[in-house]
């Protein structure tokens, strides 16, 4: 696989994480708790690799886009670890592999598990993304939920040019253990590619999609039963039909095809 060749340091740092190929991308075959534990261990000074580890997530839409957009595929294959943020990926792996994905690792859930663990051991966060108003409310809500969590900085995600480069320098100077980047696919992955060389003091970069919208409360998650049977996309479409109806109409059939044609067992 491409990421095995170009990502030598990251592969060494994640060598103990089992993976299976689902829909054409290699996914971490570990559960939510183990993913959070890995992220905590990765920021231990003894485990740093001289650059931030790059963690991202994939769902059916991402699989479809990677199969038709070479640039998006390249950006995802550069990740050190990819989590399955979609219940259909888990279901397909259970049907086709003797070592399936144990569960969905949604970033919206992962954030809270990492926050609790980080709060206990003194790790630090930086939150980059969403609009200014959304970002401020999201950070304020996180501080209410985790009063001892150290958030060393935050910023909206609409910076460009020199302002963005200056912000990256500021983030690196603050040296957060975790940089949560919520700019949407593939902008957040492109951000990681461009600025990783300038973020050597950061421990882990986790791309986060619409995480801050949920943290701010501007969007609500699907009922748990819909999440469990892989229908969260229906809920999201009902909330934002004009933005998401055509997206899911075009990506879901391709994702379904990929889930049953591009899977491989462990490693």
Residue 4 has pLDDT above 50, yes or no: no
Q: What is the pTM of this model?
A: 0.91
- pLDDT computed for residue 66 by the predictor: 96
Confidence band (pLDDT; 50, 70, 90) for 165? very high
* Mean pLDDT score, 200-210: 97
* Mean pLDDT score, 57-69: 95
Strand-pairing partners, residue 82, are 56
The separation between the first and the last C-alpha atoms of the chain, rounded to the nearest angstrom, is 10
Confidence band (pLDDT; 50, 70, 90) for 139? very high
Confidence band (pLDDT; 50, 70, 90) for 254? confident
Which one, of 219, 195, 200, lies nearest residue 209 by Cα?
Answer: 219
Cα–Cα distance, 121 to 179 (Å, whole number): 17
- pLDDT computed for residue 5 by the predictor: 45
- pLDDT computed for residue 244 by the predictor: 64
The CA angle 132-134-138, to the nearest 5 degrees, is 120
- pLDDT computed for residue 33 by the predictor: 98
The CA angle 72-254-106, to the nearest 5 degrees, is 65
Confidence band (pLDDT; 50, 70, 90) for 41? very high
- pLDDT computed for residue 218 by the predictor: 87
State how far the alpha carbon of 260 is from the alpha carbons of 91, 115, 226, 247, 251, in Å.
Answer: 11, 35, 22, 21, 15
- pLDDT computed for residue 261 by the predictor: 83
CB 103 within 8 A of CB 31: yes
Better-scored residue on pLDDT, 85 or 266 = 85
Confidence band (pLDDT; 50, 70, 90) for 3? very low
Cα–Cα distance, 111 to 252 (Å, whole number): 26
CA atoms within 13 A on the CB side of 202: 27
* Mean pLDDT score, 214-218: 94
Better-scored residue on pLDDT, 204 or 251 = 204
Which one, of 12, 39, 31, lies nearest residue 205 by Cα?
Answer: 39
Residue 186 has pLDDT above 50, yes or no: yes
* Mean pLDDT score, 247-263: 79
Which tens digits make up the pLDDT trace of 95-117? 888 889 999 999 999 999 999 99
């Amino acid at each position: 696989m491409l990421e095995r060749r170009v990502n030598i340091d990251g592969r060494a740092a994640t060598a103990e994480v089992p993976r299976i190929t689902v829909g054409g991308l290699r996914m971490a075959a570990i559960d939510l708790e183990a993913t959070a534990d890995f992220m905590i261990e990765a920021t231990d000074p003894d485990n740093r690799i001289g650059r931030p580890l790059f963690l991202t997530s994939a769902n059916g839409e991402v699989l479809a886009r990677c199969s038709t957009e070479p640039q998006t595929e390249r950006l995802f294959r550069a990740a050190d670890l990819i989590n399955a943020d979609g219940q259909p990926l888990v279901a397909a792996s259970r049907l086709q592999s003797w070592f399936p994905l144990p569960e969905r690792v949604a970033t919206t859930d992962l954030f809270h598990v990492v926050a609790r663990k980080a709060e206990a051991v003194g790790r630090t966060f930086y939150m980059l993304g969403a609009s200014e108003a959304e970002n401020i409310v999201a950070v304020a809500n996180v501080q209410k939920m985790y009063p001892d969590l150290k958030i060393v900085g935050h910023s909206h995600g609409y910076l460009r040019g020199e302002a963005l480069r200056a912000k990256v320098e500021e983030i690196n100077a603050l040296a957060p253990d975790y940089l949560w980047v919520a700019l949407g696919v593939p902008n957040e992955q492109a951000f990681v590619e461009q600025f990783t060389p300038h973020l050597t003091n950061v421990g882990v970069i986790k791309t986060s999609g619409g995480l801050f919208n949920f943290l701010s409360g501007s969007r609500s998650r699907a009922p748990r039963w819909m999440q469990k049977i892989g229908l969260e996309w229906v809920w999201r479409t009902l909330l934002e039909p004009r933005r998401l109806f055509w997206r899911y109409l075009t990506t879901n059939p391709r994702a379904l095809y990929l889930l049953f044609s591009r899977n491989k067992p462990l490693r």
